[in-house]
Chain A
């Protein structure tokens, strides 16, 4: 079975705190893709990052960083020095290889950053 679990339903932090959103996935495929999307209060889905299963390099983009570890089937997302504008629901998703582009989403983590 293929599955994505985001165990943290809601997280609340104060501005400038660092916060890590957890994502654990299950798949038997050797080739797959992992994604993070952001859903701000306006409701649209904003793409943040894509990783394929053969690329375990961690990535940093400004205040955002991602830690991909195949050994623990995790793809965690860290926001450094959080800001109020980071308040949103964040989704982790798994895309199996060669299955029509379909995405398997986690339940989402609602992040609230308070001033």
Chain B
């Protein structure tokens, strides 16, 4: 039982490049979400999903794309990286119908130069 797995752990991108941050969970959680963490701002929600085939925008969705074709995977795509997307990204998952906490991945530290 690996929990929530994020890859890569570190990434440096050039402005304008695109990339996909991977997130997978093996707990059969219905809910999955992506957050970014910036100094002094806590974690802010980018996109979230309540189940396969269903996604919605969070607080800071611009410049990011998501899809959820399976229960297990919830990749985050940066379409054209900008320096403002330099951040630490966390993926989280949780049950829809059980009163439990969200489980977080280890995070991806992304630098856009």
Q: Which residues of A contact B (CB under 8 A)?
A: 4, 6, 9, 33, 35, 37, 43-45, 47, 50, 52, 91, 93, 95, 100-108
Contact = CB atoms under 8 A, between A and B. Distances in A.
A88 B110 CA distance: 21
Query: DSSP majority for the B interface?
Result: strand
Interface in B78-108: 88, 90, 92, 94, 96, 99-104, 106-107
A102 B44 contact: no
Contacts of A50: 99-101
Interface string B30-55: 11010100001111110011100000
A102 B58 contact: yes
A44 B42 contact: no
Given A43-B106, A43-B107, A44-B107, A103 B40 contact: no
Residue from the set B88, B101, B109 with the largest chain A CB neighbour count within 10 Å:
B101
Contacts of A102: 33, 45, 48, 58
Nearest to A101: B31
A31 B31 CA distance: 18
Contact of A100 (B48, B100, B106, B109): B48
Given A43-B106, A45-B104, A107-B41, A101 B96 contact: yes
A45 B90 contact: yes
A100 B42 contact: no
